[in-house]
Structure 1
Amino acid sequence: MAQFFKAKPNKSKQLSSKLSLKVTQLDHLGAGIAQYQGKVVFVPGALPDEEVTVQFTEQKKSYAKAKLTKIEQVSSQRTEPVCPHYQQCGGCNLQHMALEAQREHKQQALIDLMNKLGGNALDDNKIAPAIKGEGWHYRRRARLATVFNKNTQHLQLGFRQSASSKIATITQCDVLAKPLSDLIKPFAANLNQLKSKASLGHLELTQAENGIFAVLRVTKRLPASDTRWLAEFAANQKITLLIQDNDNSLSQIYPEPLDETSVTLPHYLLASDDNNNQGVTCEFTPGNFVQVNGAINHAMVQQALTWLAPQKDERILDLFCGVGNFSLPLASNAQQVIGVEGVPEMVQQAKANAQLNHLTNLSFHHADLSADLTHEKWLGKIDKLLLDPARAGAFESLQWLHKMRPKKVVYVSCNPASLARDTKVLNEQGYQLTRLGMVDMFPQTHHIEAMALFELTV
């Protein structure tokens, strides 16, 4: 008799019977931690001091993941999520935790990671006050995905679902700036009126100093009737509307541009001193990275200026400089600032920003900062260094620290684990961590950002 292969069920992925566990703490991703038969159990949605009913969703040798089914004893830190999409949307995962409790957790998680992975013994005088701001409506930028259903002929607008590639339809977002949140529902209704709605990509919304901007990605040229419809909608909403095609070219639908190639770019302002005086203007385009929390970004720039204390006779290097977020205000206080970035489009925008602000002591360069930098002309002795890398950190760039020998290093991090790892490299090259501060860039989420100051001691 012929036999056919039949895959065995993956027992590690099957739901277990229900268990009662005591949650003792949170991990750095915001999941509750409990113990069961010698295993660490991670329970998303659970809080410290809660007794919960769970079912295992995944079991490994030393740990397990579990689904929260019931809270038997509620933590004093628990609060009711504000957002009606909280259980579906993957954008936030700590709305069920009181804001100050979130911040206390993030501060301790940062310190624990630095002590454990960075080999530091952090005393209180090295811990800077946390940079924090509003808990809601703080995001000045967001990208919404679109999905067109061929059967219903309906365009869905929203964010990715938690742990899924599917889209959760969104009608509001309480961490978005209020004017942007208020645009979501009318934008969805109007996009569904377009003839070309099947060929629409994502929608990017931005609140800038010079108004509200919307950038609509399209895969095909819009018919004239759709363009007119969108222009009328933008006029009614009093927003600047740009269209971005597959070549990343931008065209302005409303207000009517001066010519076919001109577009209005969003910008934000950065003070270049501790007195919060208006200093520099930073323009950016779709695809350029900018910090989405404007108030926190402003505070970070001010703290970087304070910690680095740039002088008029100093040469300062800004690695992973983006469009000049730190370089521009630094250049107002130093003899020379050099910005280096790995994304060519952002280097071009940074150069344009230097010209916009009439900064002649500021230059920008393109380089792969994870590669061999031996022959880079900008690499050499500097007085001070600022690093603002992506989540992977600055490990490769720090291998060239011996050629730079700055007196001070300010490291802006969006991943405390890579910051802790890179701290070891800095320590080995004679730098001591003298200040560390948590930055609450993304309230209602588990994300932890940090700023660290290192000073040369040998």
Structure 2
Amino acid sequence: MAQFFKAKPNKSKQLSSKLSLEITQLDHLGAGMAQYQGKVVFVAGGLPDEKVTVQLTEQKKNYAKAKLIKIDQASAQRREPNCPHYVECGGCDLQHLDVAAQRDHKQNALIDLMSKLGRDLVADEIVAPAITGEAWHYRRRARLATVFDKNTNHLQLGFRQTASSKIVSITQCNVLAKPLSDLITPFAANLNQLKSKSNLGHLELSQAENGLFAVLRVTKILPASDIRWLTEFAATHDICLLLQDNDNQLTQLHPQLLTEAGKQKVTLPFYSLAAENHPQQTVRCEFTPSNFVQVNGPINHDMVTQAVSWLDPQADERVLDLFCGVGNFSLPLASSAAKVIGVEGVPDMVQQAKNNAALNQLDNLSFHHADLSADLTHEKWLGKIDKLLLDPARAGAFESLQWLKKMRPKKVVYVSCNPASLARDSKVLIDQGYQLSKIGMVDMFPQTHHIEAMALFELNVS
């Protein structure tokens, strides 16, 4: 008899019957945690002290995940989400928790992760006050996706849906700076008037000290009528509108500025940071659409100020800034008169950082391109330094810290957007003779589970 293959049902993905659980705490990703049949069950949307009805959606050997069906007994810290798109949009996943409770959770989650390295590692006296700011309308930058439906001839503008590639059409964003949020609806209507709307990519909105900026990705050259329409829209809303082509080249639509050579000059957005030891002076940091910058301006300002204060650079010292970006920390550090070296893995950002050094007339600051996860043996900038600043991506700085013996800085300030990788990398520092002197939470992303942190390590010379 012929036998045919029949796939076995995936038991780990099968839905359970409805269960009643009690949430006891949040994990560091903001999900509620409960116990069921000896397993930890993660319930997105659940809060501590809540009794909930759930349905298991995934079961593993040591844990399970569940879908929140109903809140039977709500926490006193539960709040009605402020955003009409909250249920669908995948952005702000902690709006249902009181802001003060959000910050307490993040600080506790950070300390808990770090304390796993050693019970006495995070004493109360080394925990710095959290850096906090406005809970709403704090984002100075956002990228909105577009999807064109040829059947309806309609262009959707919005954010990605939770755990999906689908787009949620939005009319507002309550964590985006108010002037940018107010642009979403008119921009969506305007783009749908274009003849070539099927050739549009994402839309990036930015608020800078020199105005509002919008960058529209285009996959083909737009017809003249579309250019006129967009130019009028930019003038009406007082936006600096840039088109970005497939080669990442920028064309500015409003206003038209020419260089002495007759070529178009693109206006770049910028923000200012306090100059070290010169409270009345600032350094100017320009960036382009492809550059990474911190989205929360006031928090970034306070974070940079704290990092420079903790490092305490002196005029005769050599300071290394790894993962330096466009100079967010390097520029203020160099204003202290110390010799500063910035290293970044993205070539375009290295060039922009060099431009920023020249713009601020800082000749004690140099920038270099390097893959910081690779072999750095032959890098000329690698050597003995006095102070080190690290601001890596979520993956952390584990590979870079393998060169710690060669650098041997007296102080290390580690700025982290992932406390799990910070905890892992802290072990490398501690094993190399450093002690954790200060640590604090930075609330860069209110209404979300994301935890930014800063830690100071000092070389133990005893």
- Tell me the TM-score normalized by structure 2: 0.97
Kindly report which structure 2 residues correspond to 1:214-225, keeping only aligned pairs within 5 A, or say none.
214-225=214-225
1 CA distance for matches of 2:33 and 2:444? Answer: 24
Number of the residue aligned with 2:237:
237
- Name which of structure 1's ranges 259-268 and 63-72 shifts more when overlaid on structure 2: 259-268
2:141 corresponds in structure 1 to 141
Q: 1:134 to 1:285 in 2, by over 3 A?
A: same
The 1-side partners of 2:256 and 2:337 are apart by: 40
1:228 alignment partner AA: R
What is the rounded CA distance, in whole Å, between the counterparts of 2:278 and 2:338 in structure 1? 20
Partner in structure 1 of residue 376 of structure 2: 373
Structure 1 window deviating more from structure 2 (399-408 vs 343-352): it is 399-408
**Counterpart amino acid of residue 395 in structure 1:** F
Residue 9 (str. 1) matches residue 12 (str. 2) = no
Query: In 1, are the aligned partners of 2:52 and 2:72 still within 8 Å (CA)?
Result: yes
- The alignment partner of 2:348 has SS state of helix
1:127–1:436: 8 Å Cα contact kept in structure 2? yes
SS of the aligned residue for 2:362 comes to coil
Q: Distance in 1 between matches of 2:13 and 2:385?
A: 53
**8 Å Cα contact 1:274-1:306 kept in structure 2:** no
Given the superposition, is the C-alpha separation of residues 217 and 417 from structure 1 closer, same or farther in structure 2, using an over 3 Å criterion?
A: same
Cα distance, 1:181 vs structure 2: 0.3
Corresponding position of 2:266: 263
CA distance in 2, matches of 1:14, 1:117: 37
Deviation at 1:6, TM superposition (A): 2.9
**Alignment match, 1:318:** 321
Amino acid at match of 2:358: Q
The 2-side partners of 1:118 and 1:390 are apart by 25
1:446 alignment partner, one of 444, 449, 452 = 449
Aligned match of 1:414: 417
Match of 1:177 in 2: 177
Q: Secondary structure of the equivalent of 1:421?
A: helix
Q: Does 1:293 align with 2:301?
A: no
1:354 matches 2:363: no
- Matched residue of 1:164: which SS? coil
Distance of aligned partners of 1:52 and 1:406 in 2 relative to their CA distance in 1, 3 Å threshold:
same
Find the counterpart in structure 1 of residue 389 from structure 2. Answer: 386
Q: Which amino acid aligns with 1:78?
A: R
Separation of aligned partners in 2, 1:119 and 1:341: 35
Once the two structures are TM-superposed, the CA of residue 177 in structure 1 deviates from its matched residue by 0.2
| 2: CA distance, partners of 1:423 / 1:334 | 29
Whether 2:429 is the aligned partner of 1:426: answer: yes
Note if contact 1:118-1:424 (Cα within 8 Å) is conserved in structure 2.
no
Q: Spell out the pairing of 1:35-114 with structure 2 (5 A cutoff).
A: 35-114=35-114
8 Å contact kept, 1:323–1:346? yes
- Whether the 8 Å contact between 2:437 and 2:457 is mirrored in structure 1 is yes
Q: How many residues are matched?
A: 458
* Cα displacement string for residues 200-243 of structure 1 (whole angstroms, at most 9, x for unaligned residues): 00000000000000000000001000000000000000010000
CA contact (8 A) 1:269 1:278 kept: no
Please say if 1:402 is aligned against 2:414.
no
How far residue 117 of structure 1 moved from its aligned partner, in angstroms, is 4.5
Whole-angstrom distance in 1 between the partners of 2:86 and 2:196: 31
Once the 2 structures are TM-superposed, how far is the Cα of residue 103 of structure 1 from its aligned partner? 0.3
Secondary structure (helix, strand or coil) at the match of 2:116 reads helix
Q: Distance in 1 between matches of 2:396 and 2:367?
A: 20
Deviations 1:232-281 (A, max 9, x none): 00000001000000000001011112254420000000001377433100
Residue identity opposite 1:430 in structure 2: G
Q: How much has 1:379 moved relative to structure 2?
A: 0.7
Q: Do 2:383 and 2:407's aligned partners in 1 also have CA atoms closer than 8 Å?
A: yes
The aligned counterpart of 2:213 is 213
Task: Supply the RMSD in Å over aligned alpha carbons.
Answer: 1.2
Secondary structure at the aligned position of 1:292 is classed as coil
For residues 123-158 of structure 1, the C-alpha deviation after alignment (integer angstroms, 9 at most, x for no partner) is 111100000000000000000000000110100000
Contact persistence 1:117–1:417 (CA under 8 A): no
Percent of pairs with identical residues:
79
Q: Is the 8 A contact 1:172 1:182 kept in 2?
A: yes
Equivalent position amino acid for 2:301 in 1: H
Secondary structure of residue in 2 paired with 1:277: strand
Between the aligned partners of 2:11 and 2:153, the Cα distance in structure 1 is: 40
Once the two structures are TM-superposed, the CA of residue 15 in structure 1 deviates from its matched residue by: 1.6
CA distance in 2, matches of 1:41, 1:65: 5
- Cα shift at 1:9: 2.6
Instruction: Find the aligned partners of 2:109 and 2:179 in 1 and give their Cα distance.
Output: 33
Structure 1, 332-341 or 1-10: larger mean CA deviation: 1-10
CA distance in 2, matches of 1:354, 1:89: 39
When structure 1 is superposed on structure 2, of 258-267 and 413-422 the one drifting more is 258-267
Residue type at the aligned position of 1:148 = F
User: Residues 377, 115 of structure 1: CA spacing in aligned structure 2 closer, same or farther, 3 A cutoff?
Assistant: same
* Counterpart-to-counterpart distance in 2, 1:16 and 1:138: 40
Contact (CA 8 Å) 1:131, 1:440: kept in 2 or not?
yes
- Give the secondary-structure state (helix, strand or coil) at the position aligned to 1:400: helix
Show CA shifts across 1:339-383 (max 9, x none): 000000000000000000011010000001111111111111111
Gaps of 5+ in 1: none
Letter in 2 for 1:358: Q
Aligned to 2:228: 228
Question: 1:341 aligns to what?
Answer: 344
Identify which range, 83-92 or 273-282, moves more after superposition.
273-282
Give secondary structure in 2 for the equivalent of 1:316. strand
Counterparts of 1:297 and 1:273 in 2: how far apart (Å)? 15
Query: Does the CA contact (< 8 Å) of 1:131 and 1:300 recur in 2?
Result: yes
Which residue of 2 is the match for residue 20 of structure 1? 20
Counterpart amino acid of 2:32? G
What CA distance in whole angstroms lies between the structure 2 residues aligned with 1:23 and 1:275? Answer: 50
Q: Which residue matches 2:197?
A: 197
Q: Does structure 1 conserve the Cα–Cα contact (< 8 Å) formed by 2:256 and 2:264?
A: no
| Deviation at residue 119 of structure 1 after TM alignment | 6.7
Give the AA of the match of 2:249: S
Taking the aligned partners of 1:358 and 1:7, their CA distance within structure 2 comes to: 67
Report the equivalent of 1:29.
Answer: 29
